[in-house]
Amino acid sequence: MTRPDADEVAPAGAASARVVPPEGATGAAGAAAASGAGSAALAVDGAAFREALARFASGVTVVTARGPQGAPVGFTATAFSSLSLDPPLILVCLSRSASTYPAFLEATHFAVNVLAAGQAAAALRFAARGTDRFAGATVEPGPATGLPLLPGAAVHLECRTYRRVEAGDHVILLGEVLRAARTDADPLVHFNRQFGGFAPPEPAP
């Protein structure tokens, strides 16, 4: 199967990252870390970093909002997580190079659709570049925000934008959940650049 556009789906990986030796490290590694020298030797290869992250299985979301002129915008993201119960907060990450980045910097509200098994086409649609992602898409207005929701999703979360945190080549969107709704649908799963499903373990004999 085809992996969604890496510029839209987070985590996208970074060009490089520093590896910090354990506290109390001695010898050449510790001296290099303390002095700031040897960063090239300690840098994680970008391709290796991406390959490692590809082995992390996750759910798949489509995040929607409205742009400054009221037009709907949306992107596919795998970097999504619950954050707090009180207040109810979630987070989702968006690449700063994404076409939707400017709109989400202005949006006061956004909605998260946790995709169900069988909605891989929606994930690919909202990761595609240079197209109208809502053309031909079936959506319904959210009861709390009026934002576009995808029917059949496993979960709908309508959020007020709580905070934005710039982090490397991404922005972390924090949302305060105003409404949460779920179905009994199985989730869509993303692993090693492929979509699949969740299979519970066989019961022990």
CATH code at position 156 = 2.30.110.10
Distance (Å, rounded) from C-alpha 40 to C-alpha 43? 5
Domain count, the chain: 1
- Give per-residue pLDDT as tens, 144-184: 999 999 999 999 999 999 999 999 999 999 999 999 999 99
- Give per-residue pLDDT as tens, 24-34: 444 444 444 44
Does 43 fall in a domain?
Answer: no
Q: Which of 92, 89, 85, 30 is nearest to 61 (CA)?
A: 92
The whole domain housing 172 covers: 58-192
Does 66 fall in a domain?
Answer: yes
- Low pLDDT (below 70) residues in the chain: 1-42
Distance (Å, rounded) from C-alpha 196 to C-alpha 185? 14
pTM for the structure as a whole: 0.78
Does 44 fall in a domain?
Answer: no
